[in-house]
Amino acid sequence: MIELDDVRAGYVRGIDVLNGVSATFEPDRISSIVGPNGAGKSTLLKTIYGFADLHDGTITYEGDDLTAYSPSEMLRDAGIAYVPQERSVFPELSVHENLKLGTWTIRDDTKRTERSIENVYEQFPALEEKRRVRAGTLSGGQQRMLEIGRSLLTDPDVVFVDEPSAGLAPDLSENVYDSIARLRAQSVTVILVDQNIRAAVEYGDDLFIMEQGEIVVNEPTDDMTGEVENLVSEWISAKGEVA
């Protein structure tokens, strides 16, 4: 499990975006983090992964201090993959070439590399159909699948996904969420930040609600189903949008 204890973090020394966050993300579950824009959701993932500065508090994974790992070491040594909100495919390269780049931590093991890529194609048949197509010509949903598939090439135990459905049409979003649900079926722990609270509740096991850099609610999603519309209305009234 990943545990945060009184975490304060941000991007500028002396200015906290996270204000004393404590949370436990259980293994083999999908943990959904939701909240209004500016609540600190993406910063929470970036802090755990080492892209934002930890000012105070502790972050551990199975008892190990995660702050001892650089972002590149998180994947290679800790087995934690990160799919950022920003598109990260290489548009001029083919789908297959993008996947090969994702095997950098195991590139010396040719057989494992080939097997890992074939496993991704088995999970995402749409990618195999497009294996020789330039990634930049894929739809937004297909690019997101490519990013998620690439994150799985080294068999991570944990995957962070930031805003999986941002900017996608509903049918494409459903495909992406289905791919995330398949990760849980393979005993991969998923922590996702989501602007779509309805999907976060539908696909997630645990719901974390953030406001102003703090976690204000942490409940199993089964207990929150009836609260979704109230939360959406509350955030729209407060911020004019949901994130």
User: Which positions ≥6 away from 221 have C-beta within 8 Å?
Assistant: 32, 200, 201, 202, 204, 205, 206, 207
DSSP class of residue 81 equals E
For residue 129, give the amino acid letter: E
Give residue 241's pLDDT: 47
Give residue 34's pLDDT: 93
Instruction: Measure CA 1 to chain center.
Output: 15
Joined tokens for residue 159: 């995957």
User: Which positions ≥6 away from 200 have C-beta within 8 Å?
Assistant: 32, 33, 34, 192, 194, 207, 221
Nearest to 203, CA basis, from 216, 211, 192, 215: 192
Check if the beta carbon of residue 131 is closer than 8 Å to that of residue 94. Answer: yes
Domain, as residue range, for 85: 2-239
Q: Is 80 helix (H, G, I), strand (E, B) or coil?
A: strand
Domain count, the chain: 1
Averaged pLDDT for residues 169-198: 87
Pick the most confident of 88-97, 100-109, 119-128, 193-202: 88-97
Nearest to 23, CA basis, from 4, 9, 48: 4
Residue range 186-242, pLDDT digits in tens:
899 999 999 888 889 899 999 999 999 999 989 999 887 777 667 666 665 555 444
Check if the beta carbon of residue 22 is closer than 8 Å to that of residue 4. Answer: yes
Nearest to 66, CA basis, from 8, 18, 21, 1: 1
Averaged pLDDT for residues 25-43: 94
CATH code of the domain in which 97 resides: 3.40.50.300
Check if the beta carbon of residue 208 is closer than 8 Å to that of residue 4. Answer: no
Averaged pLDDT for residues 28-44: 94
Tally of residues, the chain: 243
Joined tokens for residue 170: 């509903």
Computed over every residue of the chain, the mean pLDDT equals 89
What is the value of pTM for the model shown?
0.86
